[in-house]
Structure 1
Amino acid sequence: MVKKSVKKLLFLSIIIFLFLSCKSHQNFVTTFATSNGWGYKIKYAGKELIIQENIPAVNKKISFKSKKEAKRTGNLVLIKLIKSPSAFPDISINELDSLKISY
């Protein structure tokens, strides 16, 4: 009887692990080169949701100076999206400064 319970618990644990690992692969940030620098794309819930070629919150149309800057900003946007999926995430100048984004 104990062996059956352990087997069921193990099976259930494996199913939960597979579900959670698949779900995390549905949300990620990728970077891409633009004509002037770098941008990012966000895939959320398995769909390409955001394609950002320019630095958000800046009044000029300029790309990120480096791949790392684009990735840092994209990761922040993704975190905000995951925390509050019903609201579109926005970035402030203060947040760009704290991420050390040059613009």
Structure 2
Amino acid sequence: MLNSIKTAFLLSFLVFFISCNNKDTLSLESIKTETGWGYVIKNKEQIIIRQSIIPVIANKKSFENEQEALKVGNLVLQKLKNNNSPTITKKDLILLAIKT
């Protein structure tokens, strides 16, 4: 329960922080991990999200390829630019055809 509250607070702070800044300063990059691919989202040059595993699934597994990582990263980026929570759901992964 405490972890959920901390996570919600951090996500709220992140959305607030991003909404106060120019949205054109956000960028997305893929990253190679030991077991696959991930992505980072930067505000100017500062990393604000580093996602090295597929979110929402039980296993700690990286994306199988760069394209999958960038698909999810682009969705997170769009959510931030629209002042929405950057949370990814299982439904999002299904709609993006991400192999879990």
Scaled by the length of structure 1, the TM-score of the pair is 0.70
Instruction: Answer yes or no: is 1:76 the counterpart of 2:75.
Output: yes
- Cα displacement (A) at 1:47: 2.6
Judged with a 3 Å threshold, the aligned counterparts in structure 2 of structure 1 residues 56 and 23 are, in CA distance, closer, same or farther, namely closer
**Percentage identity across paired residues of the two chains:** 37
CA-based RMSD of the aligned residues comes to 1.8
Deviations 1:23-72 (A, max 9, x none): 62x21110011111000000135531000000011111000000000001
Q: Which has the larger radius of gyration?
A: 1
Of structures 1 and 2, the one with the larger relative CO (CA 8 A, separation 6+) is 2
AA partner of residue 26 (structure 2): N
- Cα displacement (A) at 1:94: 0.7
Instruction: Answer yes or no: is 1:31 the counterpart of 2:30.
Output: yes
Scaled by the length of structure 2, the TM-score of the pair is 0.72
Between the aligned partners of 1:90 and 1:59, the Cα distance in structure 2 is: 15
Instruction: Answer yes or no: is 1:67 the counterpart of 2:66.
Output: yes
Structure 2: stretches of 5+ with no match in the other structure: 1-21
Instruction: Answer yes or no: is 1:48 the counterpart of 2:47.
Output: yes
How many residues end up aligned between the 2 structures?
79
